[in-house]
Amino acid sequence: MQLPSLLRLSLGLIVALPTLGGAFPHGATSEAKSTSNDCNRTCLSNIVEQFLDSVVKHDPFSLPLASVYKATENSHAAALTMMTLWRTVTKVTKPNLLAIDSKQGTVYFSLDINEGGITNILRTRLKVVNRKITELEIFVNRYRGEHGFSFSAEELPSNYAVLIEALFATSSDFGVAVSDTCQFTEIGWKVVDTGVYANGTTDPLGCSWPDAHPTDDKARVALVIDEELGFVVTSGMIPGIIYPYQNVSAFIPDAMPTAQEAQDVWYAYAQAQGEGPLVAPAAGMGETLEVLQYYNDELQAMQINVYLNAPNATSLWL
pLDDT tops 70 at residue 27: no
Average pLDDT over residues 24-44: 61
Shared domain check, 222 and 281: yes
Q: Which residue type, as a one-letter code, is found at position 124?
A: T
Shared domain check, 237 and 164: yes
Shared domain check, 271 and 157: yes
pLDDT tops 50 at residue 26: no
Residue of higher predicted confidence among 145 and 22:
145
pLDDT tops 70 at residue 157: no
CATH code at 92? 3.10.450.50
Model confidence band, residue 208 (pLDDT cutoffs 50, 70, 90): low
Domain of residue 71 covers 41-143
What's the predicted TM-score (pTM) here?
0.75
Q: What is the mean pLDDT of the chain?
A: 76
Q: What is the Cα–Cα distance from 54 to 119, expressed in whole angstroms?
A: 18
Q: What is the pLDDT of residues 283-313, one digit of tens each?
A: 999 998 888 877 777 777 777 788 899 999 9
pLDDT tops 50 at residue 190: yes
Shared domain check, 138 and 150: no
Answer with the one of 143, 177, 199 that is the final residue of a domain: 143
Residue of higher predicted confidence among 211 and 11:
211
Model confidence band, residue 264 (pLDDT cutoffs 50, 70, 90): very high
Q: How many CB atoms lie within 10 A of CB 16?
A: 15
Residue of higher predicted confidence among 17 and 150:
150
Average pLDDT over residues 210-231: 79
Average pLDDT over residues 162-166: 28
187: in domain: yes
Answer with the one of 87, 114, 143 that is the final residue of a domain: 143
270: in domain: yes
Answer with the one of 124, 143, 162 that is the final residue of a domain: 143
Number of domains in the chain: 2
Shared domain check, 137 and 66: yes
154 vs 19, 253, 306, CA distance in Å?
A: 35, 13, 19
219: in domain: yes
253: in domain: yes
Shared domain check, 116 and 101: yes
Q: What is the pLDDT of residues 111-129, one digit of tens each?
A: 889 998 988 889 999 999 9
pLDDT tops 90 at residue 47: yes
What pLDDT score was predicted for residue 291? 84
Average pLDDT over residues 137-142: 90
- Dihedrals φ, ψ of 136, to 5°? -135, 110
